[in-house]
Structure 1
Amino acid sequence: MKKYLLIVLLLTGINVWSKAQQNKMPTAQEMTSKNVDELEKRLKLSATQKSVIYTYVFDMSKQQLELIKRQQAGTSKEDDVTKFYKLQNDTNDNIRKILKGDQLPEFEKVLEERLSGIDPKKKKKKGKRGSEEEVVSDISGLKSKP
């Protein structure tokens, strides 16, 4: 009886552990709302701008998730990576057409931060002497200095 109980507990533990290890992909709606909410806060979007941008980003997210699923399944094609980035560039171009005035330079900052991996919520680290240490998150941080 003890052996059966131990086997059941062991199998249950393995099952729980394996489910915890699975990477869950966010849905297109989750990705879109997170993205548009950030843009709304940073760019101070009007309701109309937010609605149109949501539509653009949602369409892009759906198509990109399909490409990612194909890649994970091993059925991706050679031009899927190109399609992925083309969708992203086309969506950014469409968003640029909607933005006005001060929104456009701020949008460019948002894109630059996303490309460089900088999180605007995190602040720069303080060095030993109170001076700020710049965090380098791209390849230039790996290059040796002359």
Structure 2
Amino acid sequence: MKRYILAVMLLLGFNTFTKAQQKMPTAQEMTVKSVDELEKRLKLTPTQKSVIYNYVFDMSKQQLDLIKRQQAGTSKEDDVTKFYKLQNDTNDNIRTILKGDQLPEFEKVLEDRLNGGTKKKKKKGKGKEEEEVVTGISGLKLQAQP
């Protein structure tokens, strides 16, 4: 009897632990994080920020629905295509709103996201350390080194 109770307790504890690990961010949390990054890097006007927020929020809601369907096992074959199509459409809509030097910086943001963010490599100079941002395959190789 003690073993049975212990086994049930272990299963319940394991189940609780795995659910705590899998907390999915909300669409609003994802949108705020994304728009805040764009605002800092692109120096958005309040109007641009508001319109971009709406685009990103709509995309995030739809993508989270697709992810939940996939996790539930009820996804369709074209859901992955829809996921990336939503992302590309949103990026195209954002491009139409941006002006001048914001466009090249937006392309850099997208490139950084595709490369998995930025990896920082410390560079030793004359008595002080500087940080050099390394992206792409160089960043991945840097991470693999001990």
What is aligned with 2:53? 54
Given candidates 13, 16, 20, the residue that maps to 2:17 is: 20
Query: Shift in Å at residue 20 of structure 1?
Result: 2.9
Q: TM-score, normalised by structure 1?
A: 0.76
What is aligned with 1:108? 107
Residues 56, 90 of structure 2: 8 Å contact kept: yes
Unaligned runs of 5+ in 1: 142-146
Letter of the aligned partner of 2:17 in structure 1?
A
What is aligned with 1:144? none
What is aligned with 1:75? 74
Query: Shift in Å at residue 17 of structure 1?
Result: 4.7
What is aligned with 2:64? 65
Pick closer, same or farther for the CA change 1:134–1:50 going to 2, 3 Å: closer
Cα distance in 1 between the residues matched to 2:17 and 2:45: 40
Pick closer, same or farther for the CA change 1:18–1:125 going to 2, 3 Å: farther
Unaligned runs of 5+ in 2: 142-146
Residues 67, 84 of structure 1: 8 Å contact kept: yes
What is aligned with 1:123? 120
Query: Shift in Å at residue 16 of structure 1?
Result: 4.6
Letter of the aligned partner of 1:38 in structure 2?
E
Alignment of 1:98 onto 2:62: no
Q: TM-score, normalised by structure 2?
A: 0.76
Alignment RMSD, CA only? 3.0
What is the number of residues matched between the two proteins?
A: 132
SS at match of 1:123: strand
